[in-house]
Amino acid sequence: SASETTGVFVPKQEDYQKVYNEIAALLQDKDDYDDGSYGPVLVRLAWHASGTYDKETGTGGSNGATMRFQPEGDHGANAGLVTARDFLAPVKAKFPWITYSDLWILAGICAIQEMQGPTIPYRPGRMDKDIAACTPDGRLPDASQGNKHLRGIFGRMGFNDQEIVALSGAHALGRCHTDRSGFDGPWTFSPTVVTNEYYKLLLNEKWNWKKWNGPKQYEDKTTKTLMMLPTDMALVSDKAFKQWVDKYAKDEALFFKDFAAVITKLFELGVPFDETTQQTPMTLKPTAN
Ligand code: CCH
């Protein structure tokens, strides 16, 4: 085999499972963060690594991990993601054979699965690129915008309306931080569990503009503790988007199935997998079951 003749370490599924288990154990141990978990910020790291993809030029995407470098790491949209990269530093030190770009996506998958989300198939094979591959600022969505902006940004990555709505369900997780995006608060009451609550709340709550000095965002009328961004509300004001919000609010199993498919597509945008050796996706086992 290649490893015997060249002496190069060729990781197998069991090796990726070890990395997965290490991240899962860290998630368990380091519970003094935000709502008790680094899971949401790990999902955001994987998304922002991937969401720079431009289908026309084939640039950006998770293959490269160029957010390690200053121009891209300092883009406004990436504020706070250094927290996620630092969280993973000891994992990279323990398993130096894994590329940063494969590690960030593996961590996103691990976080989703450990937060009781669907199983996400994993394919390694990403290579880290140097600073020259950093993408220009402005490729990630701007939360103050509406439906046209969403279709423009996600269309550039190659996503349709249904996929945009399915991806947005990730906002069941985590929160906004005033010192990162300027926005404030969580979208749901269970920000460390993958659910279809985001869609249910979009439809069933009454949302008012929050009265504050910060950027324009919505708050729920009932408790005033939850939030929606202008881009979130575009999913219910736009009829074509809303059809999918309705479907996912009614049927969590459908959301899980579509979310797994679309996040897999997102995480693999622009990744040139090796046809001969690493084509078969692997299922990494969650720790809970
Ligand atoms: Fe998001 N997101 N996101 N988002 N996001 C923020 C936080 C998270 C937008 C804006 C924001 C996706 C799509 C969009 C997560 C996953 C996804 C924040 C707060 C803003 C602003 C950042 C802060 O202050 O810390 C906009 C705009 C869009 C699209 O229109 C997609 C797609 C995904 C994943 C599939 C997750 C998770 C968080 C929580 C992070 C945390 O630290 O808790």
Q: Is the CB of 44 under 6 A from ligand 1?
A: yes
Per-residue pLDDT of the chain (289 residues; tens, 9 = 90+): 455 566 788 899 999 999 999 999 999 999 989 999 999 999 999 999 999 999 999 999 999 999 999 999 999 999 999 999 999 999 999 999 999 999 999 999 999 999 999 999 999 999 999 999 999 999 999 999 999 999 999 999 999 999 999 999 999 999 999 999 999 999 999 999 999 999 999 999 999 999 999 999 999 999 999 999 999 999 999 999 999 999 999 999 999 999 999 999 999 999 998 766 657 899 999 997 4
Q: What is the pLDDT of residue 265?
A: 97
Q: What is the pLDDT of residue 4?
A: 58
Q: Is the CB of 180 under 6 A from ligand 1?
A: yes
Ligand 1 atom index nearest CA of 183: 24
**45 C-alpha to ligand 1 centroid (Å):** 10
For the chain, the structural domain boundaries read: 2-139+263-267, 147-261
Instruction: Write the CATH number of the domain with boundaries 147-261.
Output: 1.10.420.10
Ligand 1 atom index nearest CA of 179: 24
Q: What is the pLDDT of residue 289?
A: 46
Residue 97: active-site member: no
Q: What is the pLDDT of residue 277?
A: 60
**171 C-alpha to ligand 1 centroid (Å):** 6
Which of 44, 187, 217, 227 gets mutated to test ligand 1 (max ligand atoms within 8 A of its CB)?
44
Q: Return the CATH architecture of domain 2-139+263-267.
A: Orthogonal Bundle (1.10)
Of all protein residues, whose CA lies closest to atom 9 belonging to ligand 1?
A: 143
DSSP result, the chain = -HHHHH------HHHHHHHHHHHHHHHHH---STTT-SHHHHHHHHHHHHTT-BTTTTB-SSTT-GGGSHHHHTSGGGTTTHHHHHHHHHHHHH-TTS-HHHHHHHHHHHHHHHTT-----B--------GGGPPPTT-S--TT--HHHHHHHHHHHT--HHHHHHHHGGGGS-EE-TTTTS--EESSS-TTS--SHHHHHHHHS-EEE--SSSS--EEETTTS--EE-HHHHHHHHSHHHHHHHHHHHH-HHHHHHHHHHHHHHHHTTT----TTTS-S-B-PPPS--
Residue 177: active-site member: no
Q: What is the pLDDT of residue 160?
A: 98
Q: Out of 48, 104, 171, 244, which one is annotated catalytic?
A: 48
User: Is the interface score ipTM higher than 0.90?
Assistant: yes
